[in-house]
Amino acid sequence: MGQTRFPNNLPILDGNNWNKWRIQMLVIMGFQEVSEIVEDGIPDTADLTTEVQRVLYKESKMKDCQAMFLLHQCVDEAHFKKIAKARSAKEAWEILEKRNEGAEQLKKVRLQTMKRQYEFMQMEPSERITQYFNRVTSHTNATKANGEKMTDQIIVEKILRTLSPKFDHIVVVIEESKKIDEMKIVDLQGSLEAHEQRILERST
């Protein structure tokens, strides 16, 4: 018989964590001894010709209810509504897979598009430092939200490579006098804004 106790702090599927949730749930369902029911479903009732088969079917139904209860506890309200009418844990699992794997694929496509846009991003000649940093920050935040890991070092190096030519001198100074791998984005912005202000003062 399956375990009757459920682990504390169950993972909750919220639409943004499918891959991690799926791995966690497979482990939990294995611990609860309901994995086969979720994967294969309940045996066909037409095969219940012996007492042994009927007993096994009854046990399968109990495991299916246990698996369904577990799934109900581990999804948010939006996902609960999607599986509420499922007649078995196998059907509920397939619904979740279909909906979320499609979303994951769309997420990957969106991320690839964002990465291409990021690669081609450069500071415009008339753009101010604050404007360019806001544009880069907005793009990197959206990219991170889609699963890409971006450190301050990566962003700092990107900005230094793509500043307009009038900042070439200060870029050289920054690269030679400071450790780029330890520089924070806010510190880089402050240095560049100070340099930009001096340029503007000289041009007036």
Q: Mapped to the 3 state alphabet, what secondary structure does 123-188 carry?
A: CCCCCCHHHHHHHHHHHHHHHHHCCCCCCHHHHHHHHHHHCCHHHHHHHHHHHHHCCHHHCCHHHH
Q: What mean pLDDT is predicted for residues 2-9?
A: 57
Residue 149 pLDDT class (50, 70, 90 cuts): confident
Average pLDDT over residues 32-49: 80
* CA atoms of 107 and 116, how far apart (whole Å): 14
pLDDT at 3 (0 to 100): 46
Task: Give the burial class of 22: count Cβ atoms within 10 A of its Cβ; 0-12 exposed, 13-18 middle, 19 or more buried.
Answer: middle
What is the overall mean pLDDT for the chain? 86
And the tokens for 191? 């240095």
Q: What is the pLDDT of residue 199?
A: 87
Query: pLDDT at residue 197 above 80?
Result: yes
CA 151/CA 157 separation, integer angstroms: 10
Confidence of residue 162 (pLDDT cuts 50, 70, 90): very high
pTM here? 0.53
